[in-house]
Structure 1
């Protein structure tokens, strides 16, 4: 099959970039022919090794650095351009003889826009992928899904561990399981092999996009209260997009600069740098307890699985995973004291639980494989 991936989101690094890589590489592995549909002058962060087709309708619109008064204007412009890209994609599907089109990150607004364009009548299957649907989004999603019922080649694929978006009257709203994120370079790890040893310091890693809601200071305070020496180390990486997030992260770095066993990385890591940073730690910490993580799959959890790293994790983050697979421990976030207790228990038991974590991580990697993701999308 010739499969086009229509990407219109620009990120400095992170899981949007890696998700596209998963789709492209696994499509190739399964014998398909992927290519990219993108707006003009699209700023690629990596070379995906496929043909690129540029869509008519203008460049990507981003809010990065925009003032508050300008954002409403940019929002309107983005909606107009999205419709133009979808209109152009409908024509390119015919021109390039595309069998299936994947829009890798969608919202209810994408359906609304798509239904205003000829793309809704495409002879190729069109898959809009949703990375979870929160309670506040569900009503608007269902409304647009009902509107899309009339178009037999339009599929709304929700990456989720939950079933609450499924309806008998919406046959083309489908649940698909999240994929693991794997090392993208030669710095890969032997399957099922944990790096924890008695001779080396235990290194705990906190990685991903930094946002205030992740409560990182409370977690660091708990870690500091345990008075670990260099035998237990903490690596904190933060990729920041908004200027205010960058300023806050820098203030946190300064606040804890006197602790020799805490290392900060204020940078967007990609490719071999991301792989190397993750491979340098023994376990990953996901102590951010926002309610939305019950509904949206947590990319860092599935990075931990793919890199074979046990996790210390908030109870809100995709609880279905730890209920089924022994890959870590749940963290009580009520107070700094309960967080410290959780860290101490996790550190003390990491070595004793190696075999259990090994098996759990192997099983989870099989369940959430890239093969399963692609097959669930395009095998209708």
Structure 2
């Protein structure tokens, strides 16, 4: 019987006569990659681990002394000039007694590199801490923390090729963080240069986010400046208070939202404001419990994501073009992503009339900013819009149901 770990952890695989062998190589040149770590674990209740091996100068590895059974083998420790596709990161191998499994190979692809210089108001941001958010056309966003050097330079390796939007977030201890969104195209084995210019001003916004007079909300507040392309963000404290500082004097859209609790919709609200140089604007924000429940039928097969949105007033979307939709969405009051079953909720609406519509995207809209030419036209041609429905909210806390269909 295999030994069991006393603390629920792992124990080394006991000696046997079976083995696993393979090679790690550059998929383009077929050259072996040395020094890559190969690790594994036996698939059984004992959670037995395989001692870590390293590939030799030709990229080969051999794991000997294994007992019969199933194993998972993984590859790590290669430089950020390479990447390993997600579907190839773990191999599953089944061994019989005295058997050998060969050809358990890992093919590394050349990674893309992103580098550049970070400045704030034209001055290099030396030793600055940033968070980067990489959103490709498909897949989940990837978050990477970086720090600039003494000359304000940054370097990010291990990136997959393709268009994406990278959000650079300059982390600050006070006054909110500053964001800069840059569309880039990453090429395999190549370096893309993207300098990041942050700007600050003398304007400020402060206020309180609440559900009612007695219920402050620890919401997130983002200020989007479309003229300069900057975003500033912060989270309200326990009293619902927020303050954003060093902002440019230009039109701004405040996006205020609460993370969803189990079985509760995300509350979002959009507010358009104008900031004055050197001034502090006071803006208290109500995130009401008003909800429009949406059911969307006939979802397009090519849908990567489907949004539902509420546009202030009776909006003409008769031509249902991408350009008309983009212009109309600049006046959105609230939006949300529907579930795979086609249901969703739009929340935090004030009393008034709204145009409710569902939009299907063939890829993530953020990544589309990096597309051009035929790739952009292909993306636009895949956008679908439902016929709109007009609803009227009579009072705070009201709930309505809307059916939409593509």
TM-score w.r.t. length of structure 2: 0.21
Structure number with greater CO (CA < 8 Å, separation at least 6) is 1
Greater strand percent: which structure? Answer: 2
Greater helix percent: which structure? Answer: 1
TM-score w.r.t. length of structure 1: 0.22
